[in-house]
């Protein structure tokens, strides 16, 4: 049994312009390559089309109102032709920040427990359950929030209940699985020898976690948090159902609030003309925020594991 075809070399490559290029490609392989290339192209072109569409529809109104007045205008009144999205930007930011304040500590603590402290089998089981949370459709979160959380807040505070608080509690629960599972994976990726190292010095498990494991997993945890921010900014339905949706800058946790996404969802059904263009302008603003966030994620990810990726930078002779 030979892996070599008669007469044809098993491994024949030439190096041209720094790249190894395979010469012995079969027709079959070329077809597969083309098909995969087309699939990749589809995903990329979908993004390009969406971007082009949003900008084409949204830029005219941005130009008419003026980008600065559009972004920093505080009045959103389509009937009077006033389109300032600052209340919605403030709403999205407020809801996101409040959700992160509640969600991140719980999610990271949950990941630390599952990855470092729980008995292995329980850890795997619990993690599966946490991940199941993310399979629940967002409208269900919104519905539960609407029927339980909002009345609860109303009862406690006397306010209407549709508020920053309600939206951010719902979001905090929704982003938890994302942050937990990304953090969990990065904690699990920290080599066991680091924990042993601290234990062998007479350190406790908690000291090892605080001193070595968390710093080593930091970039992964931060990436998880950024993903969570994206989820908060992008979430529409659950927020729309509990936030009250008044287009004013929120002044307290109990103020009703409208986010960029729910603003679009609320009005797109009946908007036309300038109003419609203004909604696309809102989408441009949202798009810019999400794109900036994505760049941030890439930057954090490229920094790699805090000290995993470059363990022996000066050691030329060993390893390699």
Partner 1 sequence: MQGGGDGVFRMIRYSDFNYSYGAVCALRSLNLEIGKNELFTVMGPTGSGKTTMLRCLNRLNDVVPSGRHSGSLYLDGVDVYDPRVDVTVLRRRVGMVFALPAVLPTSIFENVAYGPRRAGERSKAALSETVERSLTAAALWEEVKDRLGERAETLSGGQQQRLALARVLALGPDVILLDEPTSGLDPISTLRIEDLLRELSRQYTIVLATHNPQQAARVGSRVGFLMLGELVEVAEAGDMFTRPRDPRTEAFVSGRLG
The least distance separating partner 1 from the CB of residue 116, rounded to whole angstroms, comes to 11
Please, which residue, 6 or 315, has the CB nearer to partner 1?
315
Tell me how many residues contact partner 1 (CB under 8 A): 30
Is 44 near partner 1 (CB under 8 A)? no
Please, which residue, 19 or 314, has the CB nearer to partner 1?
314
Please, which residue, 126 or 133, has the CB nearer to partner 1?
126
The least distance separating partner 1 from the CB of residue 199, rounded to whole angstroms, comes to 6
Please, which residue, 160 or 215, has the CB nearer to partner 1?
215
**At a CB cut-off of 8 Å and minimum separation 6, what does 20 contact?**
13, 14
Is 303 near partner 1 (CB under 8 A)? no
DSSP state of 10: S
Site for partner 1 in 193-252 (CB under 8 A): 193-194, 196-204, 207, 211-212, 215-216
Selected from 18, 158, 269, 319, the binder of partner 1 by CB under 8 A is 319
Please, which residue, 202 or 269, has the CB nearer to partner 1?
202
3-state secondary structure of 19: strand
Pairwise CA distance, residues 230 & 215, whole Å:
23
DSSP string, 66-128: -HHHHHH---EEGGGTEE--HHHHHHHHHHHHHHHHHHHHHHHHHHHIIIIIS-HHHHHHHHH
Beta partners for residue 83, in sequence order: 76
Pairwise CA distance, residues 5 & 23, whole Å:
15
Please, which residue, 124 or 199, has the CB nearer to partner 1?
199
Query: For residue 8, which phi and psi values (nearest 5 degrees)?
Result: -110, 135
Is 60 near partner 1 (CB under 8 A)? no
Angle, helices 214-234 vs 86-112, to 10°: value is 140
The least distance separating partner 1 from the CB of residue 114, rounded to whole angstroms, comes to 16
The least distance separating partner 1 from the CB of residue 179, rounded to whole angstroms, comes to 22
The least distance separating partner 1 from the CB of residue 223, rounded to whole angstroms, comes to 18
Is 15 near partner 1 (CB under 8 A)? no
Please give the distance of CA 112 from its chain centroid, rounded to a whole number: 20
Pairwise CA distance, residues 306 & 189, whole Å:
12
Neighbouring CB atoms inside 10 A of 184's CB total 28
Please, which residue, 186 or 282, has the CB nearer to partner 1?
186
The least distance separating partner 1 from the CB of residue 295, rounded to whole angstroms, comes to 26
Site for partner 1 in 90-119 (CB under 8 A): 119
The least distance separating partner 1 from the CB of residue 320, rounded to whole angstroms, comes to 10
Pairwise CA distance, residues 167 & 157, whole Å:
16
Chain residues that interact with partner 1, rule: CB under 8 A:
119-120, 191, 193-194, 196-204, 207, 211-212, 215-216, 306-307, 310-315, 317-319
């Amino acid at each position: 049994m030979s892996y070599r075809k008669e007469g044809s070399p098993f491994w024949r490559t030439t190096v041209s312009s720094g790249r190894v290029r395979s010469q012995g490609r079969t027709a079959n392989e070329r077809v597969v390559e083309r098909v995969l290339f087309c699939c990749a192209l589809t995903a990329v072109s979908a993004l390009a089309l969406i971007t082009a569409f949003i900008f084409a529809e949204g830029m005219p109104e941005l130009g008419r109102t003026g980008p600065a007045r559009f972004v920093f205008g505080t009045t959103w009144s389509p009937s009077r032709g006033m389109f300032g999205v600052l209340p919605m930007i403030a709403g999205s930011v407020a809801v996101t920040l409040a959700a992160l304040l509640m969600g991140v500590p719980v999610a990271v603590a949950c990941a630390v427990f599952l990855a470092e402290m729980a008995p292995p089998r329980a850890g795997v089981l619990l993690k599966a359950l946490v991940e199941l949370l993310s399979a629940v459709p967002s409208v269900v979160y919104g519905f539960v929030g609407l029927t339980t959380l909002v009345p609860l807040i109303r009862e406690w505070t006397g306010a209407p209940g549709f508020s920053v608080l309600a939206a951010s509690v719902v979001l905090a629960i929704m982003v938890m699985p994302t942050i937990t599972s990304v953090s969990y994976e990065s904690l699990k990726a920290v080599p066991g020898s680091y924990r042993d190292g601290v234990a062998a010095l007479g350190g406790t498990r908690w000291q090892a976690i605080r001193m070595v494991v968390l710093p080593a997993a930091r970039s992964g945890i931060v990436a998880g948090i950024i993903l969570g921010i994206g989820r908060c900014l992008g979430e529409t339905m659950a927020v729309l159902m509990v936030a009250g949706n008044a287009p004013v800058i929120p002044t307290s946790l109990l103020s009703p609030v409208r986010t960029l996404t729910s603003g679009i969802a609320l009005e797109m059904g009946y908007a036309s003309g300038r109003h419609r263009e203004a909604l696309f302008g809102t989408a441009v603003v949202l798009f810019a925020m999400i794109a900036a966030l994505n760049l941030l994620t890439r930057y954090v990810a490229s920094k790699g594991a805090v000290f995993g990726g470059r363990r022996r930078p000066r050691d030329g002779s060993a390893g390699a």
